[in-house]
């Protein structure tokens, strides 16, 4: 298949904002794509790997400018000048390379396979001479690209395709193309995606039909989307959703780890963002090997850090660096050891057990874990129908420094990827939400050189809508507990897409938890709302922009506030 066919679709998709239209355009295209390698579907999201694979092209604006200059036979400074004006290197490539193309009579046509191979190749390049090697792979593509092809190649390289295709649209288009007669087809596609997290797998199965789609299931060793809770504000509501009696557990302030042992005995660990963190946690792997019985399993857990000196549990923030760290791991393990709190079992000894009642899954979980202090334990649990006892458990959890409680429905299945009423969370500060940073401003005086004020946004479908500016909550000095301005500045700088005076715009990648006093309607921000007295409490390297609060969440918070005129304290 020629890459120009993809480009035609990219152009058509970017011309409409209507979701239904986008899905129909894509459905027609998918019927053509079905005879190609299934992984080509990743190109619709500007990728060459499934979403859970964290590998990136690692291409800077500077390198792209070099590549365009080389392919178009122009000066880098001319490109830079234009870039400052229009801010889209894709458009610039279109103009310059398009012009060059007209003067060349014969050129080979760009095949999608070639694009895919070179893009994949970029990810593998590391070490000495990496920049030159990357440049040569990009130039090879640009040399046979038309202007429009160059535009989308560049946008793909910069992870900024701008065609407005979110997961929902891919889901609907697969349903429309291959399961048109089926009832709830989109739902079926979504469930298959929640289990595989891979559109190539779902697409390939859907082409073959419903039966093949139904075969997609949980496999240990592959990342799986976790089940999420609904938020409640009182114990009555919790019992109303979970029925009586229900299981209540401490809500630990760590991070979620899905522990996998596959049928060959390999152990792998995934976060809620589907990132493979096995290498960062050899200590957890060792505990799993020694303390859990079974040839194969998938266990859901919260991994919590503690202070090795006084053995006290630490907040998430303190151990968050362990998720990203790729070196000096042994030393970090000594300074920041962790404990596994296992709370669910989804797969056991070659069998999926997600459909059996939670009560039975939990019984089996308790049987297979050898509890060892500060290493592994089943999460603390109380099964009760008594509201007073439940409230006492809640207060005890808070007293021992936990975030609150989780209540779980005893006869419920495990539903990967869904925020369903099989589990609820209750905690005192109802007003902390996860948001993504979309802009920032350089500080002055003591804070000069750092980005110290951040424009944060919530999500509405594929779009990020601003909801306020936050500048407090971070630390000025390295070494104090918590995230520092310096750290966030270093993370934000490579994400800058536009600079104007002291203000910058950044790619929406960095997720932060923000607390606030209340939310008000406001014309100043694109969401239509603004937070009062916002403060960053955590940087969340374990969350993706997709996981942040949605506009709907914000609207329901505002509604709740109406019943509590002074805001929830």
Min CB(433)–ligand ATP separation in Å? 7
- Phi then psi for residue 74, to 5 deg, are -130, 170
**Distance separating alpha carbons of residues 267 and 359, to the nearest angstrom:** 25
Q: Which is nearer to ligand ATP, 64 or 512 (CB)?
A: 512
**Distance separating alpha carbons of residues 343 and 249, to the nearest angstrom:** 9
Angle 131-134-136 (CA atoms, 0-180°, nearest 5)? Answer: 110
Q: Which is nearer to ligand ATP, 149 or 249 (CB)?
A: 249
For the chain, how big is the Rg over CA atoms in Å? 25
Min CB(425)–ligand ATP separation in Å? 5
Q: Which is nearer to ligand ATP, 304 or 440 (CB)?
A: 304
Burial tier of 98 (Cβ tally within 10 Å: 0-12, 13-18, 19+): middle
Q: Does 247 bind ligand ATP (CB under 6 A)?
A: no
Strands 228-231 and 419-426: parallel
**Distance separating alpha carbons of residues 295 and 91, to the nearest angstrom:** 54
Min CB(543)–ligand ATP separation in Å? 8
How crowded is residue 261: how many other Cβ atoms within 10 Å of its Cβ? 24
Min CB(512)–ligand ATP separation in Å? 11
Min CB(513)–ligand ATP separation in Å? 6
Q: Which residues in 335-354 contact ligand ATP (CB under 6 A)?
A: 343
Select from 249, 275, 339, 466 the one that contacts ligand ATP (CB under 6 A): 249
Q: Does 434 bind ligand ATP (CB under 6 A)?
A: yes
Select from 251, 322, 362, 544 the one that contacts ligand ATP (CB under 6 A): 251
- Residues 182-211: x where in contact with ligand ATP by CB under 6 A, - otherwise, as a string: ------------------------------
Q: Does 425 bind ligand ATP (CB under 6 A)?
A: yes
| Residues 247/383, Cβ–Cβ less than 8 Å | yes
| Residues 50/42, Cβ–Cβ less than 8 Å | yes
Provide the token pair at 129: 């001479």
Min CB(343)–ligand ATP separation in Å? 4
Q: Does 412 bind ligand ATP (CB under 6 A)?
A: no
**Distance separating alpha carbons of residues 557 and 32, to the nearest angstrom:** 44
Select from 302, 339, 466, 557 the one that contacts ligand ATP (CB under 6 A): 302
Q: Does 422 bind ligand ATP (CB under 6 A)?
A: no
Q: Which is nearer to ligand ATP, 10 or 343 (CB)?
A: 343
**Distance separating alpha carbons of residues 486 and 166, to the nearest angstrom:** 32
Choose the binding region for ligand ATP from 72-80, 127-135, 245-253, 476-484 (rule: CB under 6 A). 245-253
Min CB(71)–ligand ATP separation in Å? 45
Q: Does 406 bind ligand ATP (CB under 6 A)?
A: yes
Min CB(236)–ligand ATP separation in Å? 20
Select from 92, 228, 407, 455 the one that contacts ligand ATP (CB under 6 A): 228
**Distance separating alpha carbons of residues 33 and 512, to the nearest angstrom:** 38
* Among candidate residues 71, 105, 72, 68, the one with its CA nearest the CA of residue 83: 68
DSSP 478-532: TTSSS-BHHHHHHHHGGGEEEEETTEEEE-S--EEEEE-SEEEE-TTSTTSEEEE
On the question of a cis peptide bond just before residue 245, with omega within 30 degrees of 0, the verdict is yes
Strands 338-348 and 376-378: parallel
Which residues are identified as catalytic? 251
Select from 5, 432, 463, 486 the one that contacts ligand ATP (CB under 6 A): 432
Select from 45, 272, 361, 415 the one that contacts ligand ATP (CB under 6 A): 272
Q: Does 362 bind ligand ATP (CB under 6 A)?
A: no
Q: Which is nearer to ligand ATP, 267 or 549 (CB)?
A: 549
Q: Does 275 bind ligand ATP (CB under 6 A)?
A: no
Q: Does 262 bind ligand ATP (CB under 6 A)?
A: no
- Could you tell me which residues come within 8 angstroms of residue 153 by beta carbon, excluding any fewer than 6 positions away? 93, 115, 138, 141, 142, 145
Q: Which is nearer to ligand ATP, 379 or 561 (CB)?
A: 379
* Among candidate residues 169, 138, 143, the one with its CA nearest the CA of residue 155: 138
How crowded is residue 131: how many other Cβ atoms within 10 Å of its Cβ? 14
Q: Which is nearer to ligand ATP, 257 or 288 (CB)?
A: 257
Q: Which is nearer to ligand ATP, 83 or 422 (CB)?
A: 422
Min CB(251)–ligand ATP separation in Å? 4
Q: Does 283 bind ligand ATP (CB under 6 A)?
A: no
Q: Which is nearer to ligand ATP, 210 or 231 (CB)?
A: 231
Q: Does 418 bind ligand ATP (CB under 6 A)?
A: no
Min CB(554)–ligand ATP separation in Å? 13
Q: Does 513 bind ligand ATP (CB under 6 A)?
A: yes
Q: Does 379 bind ligand ATP (CB under 6 A)?
A: yes
Q: Does 171 bind ligand ATP (CB under 6 A)?
A: no
Q: Which residues in 22-61 contact ligand ATP (CB under 6 A)?
A: none
| Residues 451/504, Cβ–Cβ less than 8 Å | yes
Q: Which is nearer to ligand ATP, 425 or 447 (CB)?
A: 425
Q: Does 459 bind ligand ATP (CB under 6 A)?
A: no
- Could you tell me which residues come within 8 angstroms of residue 126 by beta carbon, excluding any fewer than 6 positions away? none
- Could you tell me which residues come within 8 angstroms of residue 29 by beta carbon, excluding any fewer than 6 positions away? 5, 9, 173
| Residues 199/84, Cβ–Cβ less than 8 Å | no
SS3 560: helix
**Residue ranges in contact with ligand ATP by CB under 6 A:** 228-229, 249-252, 256, 272, 302, 343, 379, 406, 425, 432, 434, 513
């Amino acid at each position: 298949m020629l890459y120009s066919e993809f480009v035609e679709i990219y152009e058509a998709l970017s011309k409409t904002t209507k979701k239904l239209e986008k899905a129909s355009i894509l459905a027609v295209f998918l019927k053509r794509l079905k005879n190609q390698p299934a992984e080509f579907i990743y190109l619709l999201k500007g990728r060459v790997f499934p979403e859970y694979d964290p590998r990136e092209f690692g291409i800077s604006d500077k390198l792209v400018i070099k590549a365009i200059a080389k392919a178009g036979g122009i000066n880098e400074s001319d490109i830079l000048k234009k870039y400052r004006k229009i801010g889209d290197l894709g458009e610039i490539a279109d103009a310059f390379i398009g012009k060059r193309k007209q003067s060349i009579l014969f050129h080979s046509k760009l095949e999608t396979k070639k694009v895919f191979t070179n893009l994949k190749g970029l990810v593998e390049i590391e070490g000495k001479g990496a920049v030159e090697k990357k440049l040569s792979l990009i130039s090879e593509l640009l040399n046979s690209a038309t202007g429009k092809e160059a535009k989308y190649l560049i946008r793909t390289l910069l992870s900024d395709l701008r065609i407005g295709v979110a997961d929902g649209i891919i889901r609907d288009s697969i349903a429309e193309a291959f399961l048109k007669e089926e009832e709830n087809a989109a739902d079926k596609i979504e469930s298959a995606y929640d289990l595989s997290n891979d559109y190539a797998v779902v697409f390939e199965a859907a082409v073959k039909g419903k039966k093949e789609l139904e075969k997609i299931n949980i496999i240990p060793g592959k990342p799986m989307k976790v089940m999420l809770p609904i938020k409640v504000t009182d114990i009555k509501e919790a019992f109303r959703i979970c029925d009586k009696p229900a299981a209540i557990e401490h809500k630990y302030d760590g991070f979620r780890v899905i522990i996998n042992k596959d049928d060959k005995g390999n152990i792998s660990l995934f976060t809620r963002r589907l990132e493979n963190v096995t290498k960062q946690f050899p200590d957890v792997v060792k505990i799993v090997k020694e303390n859990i019985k079974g040839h194969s399993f998938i266990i859901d857990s919260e991994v919590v850090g503690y202070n090795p000196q006084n053995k006290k549990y630490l907040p998430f923030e303190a151990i968050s660096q362990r998720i990203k760290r790729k070196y000096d791991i042994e030393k970090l393990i000594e300074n920041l050891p962790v404990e596994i709190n296992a709370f669910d079992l989804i797969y056991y000894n070659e069998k999926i057990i997600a459909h059996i009642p939670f009560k039975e899954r939990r019984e089996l979980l308790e049987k297979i874990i050898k509890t060892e202090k500060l290493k592994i334990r089943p999460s603390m649990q109380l099964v009760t129908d008594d509201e007073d006892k439940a409230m006492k458990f809640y207060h005890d959890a808070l007293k021992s420094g936990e975030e609150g409680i989780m209540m779980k429905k005893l006869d419920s299945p495990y539903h990967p990827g869904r925020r369903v009423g099989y589990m609820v969370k209750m905690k005192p500060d109802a007003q902390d939400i996860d948001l993504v940073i979309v802009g920032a401003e350089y500080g002055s005086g003591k804070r000069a050189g750092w980005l110290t004020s951040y424009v944060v946004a919530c999500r509405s479908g594929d779009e990020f809508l601003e909801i306020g500016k936050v500048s407090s909550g971070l630390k000025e000095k390295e070494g104090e507990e918590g995230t520092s301005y310096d750290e966030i500045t270093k993370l934000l700088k490579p994400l800058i897409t536009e600079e104007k005076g002291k203000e910058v715009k950044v790619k929406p990648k960095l997720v932060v938890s923000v607390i606030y006093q209340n939310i008000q309607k406001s014309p100043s921000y694109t969401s239509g709302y603004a937070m009062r007295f916002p403060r960053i409490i955590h940087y969340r390297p374990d969350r993706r922009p997709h996981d942040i609060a949605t506009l709907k969440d914000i609207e329901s918070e505002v509604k709740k506030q109406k019943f509590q005129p002074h805001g929830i304290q």
